[in-house]
Amino acid sequence: MSFSSENQNETGNNSSTENNSVRILAIESSCDDTSASVCIDGRIASNYVANQKVHEQYGGVVPELASRAHMQNIVPVVDVALKQAGISLQEIDAIAFTQSPGLIGSLLVGAQFAKSLALALSKPLIAVHHMQAHVLANLIEENRPSFPFLCLTVSGGHTQIVLARSPLELEVIGETIDDAAGEAFDKSAKLLGLPYPGGPLVDKNAQLGNPLAFKFAEPQIPELNFSFSGLKTSVLYFLQAKQKEDEKFIENNLNDLCASVQHTIIQILLKKLKKAVAQTGVKNVCIAGGVSANSGLRNALQEAGKKYGWKTFIPPFQYCTDNAGMIAITAYYKYKAGKFSELDVSPTARAEWN
């Protein structure tokens, strides 16, 4: 699977070329975070995220409730992002939005809003692929990787190793064949009685536990692909057996259980990353996506960097989980390459790299 944007239309006007400044307003609404960001000449001037708390009580994201919350949030969120950047709508040169992948109702809210703004302001529209944006979040900070680089993108819906040759030339060289790493965290957390989303809570408890206390099965998957569905089953059977002996087993061992589950997930991820470096010879290594906020994974990548001579890059926390800043930086590169979209562009729940 490789990425290129060639089949998009070049319909953007070039309102900013007079002063050579490029100011982009970006909107992200693919799942349960409503976010807006302003990017000025490749620098993120604001990145505001409204998290939706409504899903916690259901133990997962409820798509219809997510769409409704996006509808309520989108105007105030865009307003805050513009104010924080100290810029007016009229000064914006292009409007960007997440086109795919994601929940279709959620994507539709952001897409319709962006298209309406583009039409009303007569500004070009830029459709952005959410997974490409996670990778390019590594280009936001001053300390950024040079090309080519490898990126392990680990989120709630995806686990991929991407080879980036340039901002718009990305190739997926490995991915999960079933669950994503974020799902492995969240499903294990659920088995441990932790509320959704469990990933950050596993991380927190793991910091007080022993990562080698318990051992869970690691899958043997060929090439650079991953599998995480077996881990959930392995944790489930282990807990069932232990709870027969001690019904308070989870309560009494929560920190060690979290540390051991987290350790297993990190081992699986790092082994494949090591293999990807060996296969490609590329030693600039990044991580991205919600799970890259995990303190254990961040430490493990840095350790691997020291041990194997890699240059490692980790985005700041606010650019790891879903945010419009990563959409804005991706749109900036698409703007410079003249990759604009027509107003009839539609969001899609699942998409090849577009």
Taking CB under 5 A as the binding criterion, the range among 41-49, 69-77, 152-160, 209-217 that sits at the site for Zn ion is: 152-160
Minimum distance of Zn ion from residue 322's CB (angstroms):
4
Which residue, 256 or 322, is less far from ligand KG4 as judged by CB?
Answer: 322
Instruction: Using alpha carbons, list the distances in angstroms from residue 258 to 20, 134, 265, 290, 296.
Output: 51, 26, 11, 17, 11
Is residue 182 annotated as involved in ligand binding? Answer: no
Minimum distance of ligand KG4 from residue 182's CB (angstroms):
3
Chosen residue from 150, 257, 291, 327 binding ligand KG4 by CB under 6 A: 291
Residue 155 binds Zn ion (CB under 5 A) = yes
Residue 203 binds ligand KG4 (CB under 6 A) = yes
Which residue, 31 or 44, is less far from ligand KG4 as judged by CB?
Answer: 31
Minimum distance of ligand KG4 from residue 131's CB (angstroms):
8
CA atoms within 13 A on the CB side of 161: 23
- Residue nearest Zn ion by beta-carbon distance: 155
Residue 322 binds Zn ion (CB under 5 A) = yes
93 binding partner (options ligand KG4, Zn ion, none; Cβ < 5 to 8 Å by kind): none
AA letter at 245: E
Chosen residue from 25, 26, 31, 45 binding ligand KG4 by CB under 6 A: 31
| Sheet order of strands, 169-175 included | 169-175, 159-166, 149-154, 284-288, 311-313
Taking CB under 5 A as the binding criterion, the range among 82-90, 93-101, 298-306, 314-322 that sits at the site for Zn ion is: 314-322
AA letter at 137: A
- Bond from prior residue into 200 cis (ω within 30 degrees of 0): no
Is residue 179 annotated as involved in ligand binding? Answer: no
33 within 8 A of 323, measured Cβ to Cβ: yes
Backbone angles phi, psi at 217, to 5 degrees: -65, 135
Give me the DSSP letters along 2-68: B---TTS------TTTTTT--EEEEEE-SSSEEEEEEEETTEEEEEEEEE-GGGGGGTS--HHHHHH
Is residue 157 annotated as involved in ligand binding? Answer: yes
Taking CB under 5 A as the binding criterion, the range among 68-76, 108-116, 315-323, 344-352 that sits at the site for Zn ion is: 315-323
First to last CA, the chain: 10
Alpha carbon distance 206, 70 (integer Å) = 33
Residue 197 binds ligand KG4 (CB under 6 A) = yes
Chosen residue from 126, 322, 345, 347 binding ligand KG4 by CB under 6 A: 322
Alpha carbon distance 134, 290 (integer Å) = 9
Is residue 199 annotated as involved in ligand binding? Answer: yes
Considering only residues 148 to 177 of the shown chain, the ones binding ligand KG4 according to CB under 6 A are 155-157
Taking CB under 6 A as the binding criterion, the range among 42-50, 83-91, 250-258, 285-293 that sits at the site for ligand KG4 is: 285-293
Alpha carbon distance 61, 56 (integer Å) = 8
What region, left, alpha or beta, does residue 102 occupy, with left being phi > 0 and alpha being psi -120 to 50 degrees?
left
157, 156, 195: which is closest to 59 by C-alpha?
Answer: 195
Instruction: Using alpha carbons, list the distances in angstroms from residue 51 to 26, 92, 141, 195, 257.
Output: 17, 25, 23, 16, 28
Is residue 153 annotated as involved in ligand binding? Answer: yes
Binding residues: 130, 134, 153-157, 186, 199, 203, 294, 322
Binding residues for substrate: 153-157, 186, 199, 203, 294
Interface with ligand KG4 (CB under 6 A): 31, 155-157, 182, 185-186, 197, 199-200, 203, 289-291, 293-294, 321-322
Interface with Zn ion (CB under 5 A): 155, 322
